[in-house]
Amino acid sequence: MIKDTRTLLVVDDEPANLQVIRNILSDNYRTLFAKDGERALELASAEKPDLILLDVMMPGMTGHEVCQRLKANPETRNIPVIFVTALADTDDEAKGFELGAVDYITKPVSASIVLARVKTHLSLVRMDELVETRLAVVQMLGRAAEYKDNETGLHVIRMSHFSRLIALETGMSEAWSDTLLNAAPMHDVGKIGIPDAILQKPGKLDPDEWAVMQRHAEIGAEIIGEDGSDLLNMAREVALNHHEKWDGSGYPRGLKGNAIPVSARIVALADVFDALTSERPYKKAWPIDQATNLIREQSGQHFDPQLVEAFFRCLPAILEVRSHWQEGNGV
pLDDT exceeds cutoff 80 at 93: no
Which DSSP category does 284 fall into? P
Which DSSP category does 259 fall into? G
Taking alpha carbons only, the member of 238, 281, 242, 279 closest to residue 154 is: 279
Q: Are 193 and 149 in contact (CB under 8 A)?
A: no
The whole-number pLDDT of residue 154 equals 78
Q: Are 74 and 104 in contact (CB under 8 A)?
A: no
Q: Are 82 and 51 in contact (CB under 8 A)?
A: yes
Q: What is the pLDDT of residues 21-54, one digit of tens each?
A: 888 988 888 899 999 999 999 999 999 999 999 9
The whole-number pLDDT of residue 331 equals 40
DSSP codes joined into one string, 182-240: HHGGGTTGGGGGS-HHHHT-SSPPPHHHHHHHHTHHHHHHHHH----SHHHHHHHHHHH
The whole-number pLDDT of residue 257 equals 97
Taking alpha carbons only, the member of 183, 186, 270, 255 closest to residue 220 is: 186
Cα separation, 64 vs 66, in Å, equals 5
Helix, strand, coil percent values for the chain (each to nearest 5): 60, 10, 35
Question: By percentage, how much of the chain surpasses pLDDT 90?
Answer: 48
Q: What is the pTM of this model?
A: 0.64
DSSP codes joined into one string, 182-193: HHGGGTTGGGGG
Cα separation, 165 vs 151, in Å, equals 21
Q: Are 249 and 243 in contact (CB under 8 A)?
A: no
pLDDT exceeds cutoff 90 at 139: no
Q: What is the pLDDT of residues 192-216, one digit of tens each?
A: 889 988 887 877 889 999 999 999 9
Task: Give the mean pLDDT of 157-173.
Answer: 94
pLDDT exceeds cutoff 70 at 6: yes
Which DSSP category does 110 fall into? -
pLDDT exceeds cutoff 90 at 305: yes
In terms of average pLDDT, the best of 6-15, 75-84, 209-218 is 209-218
Q: What is the pLDDT of residues 229-259, one digit of tens each?
A: 788 899 999 999 999 999 999 999 999 999 9
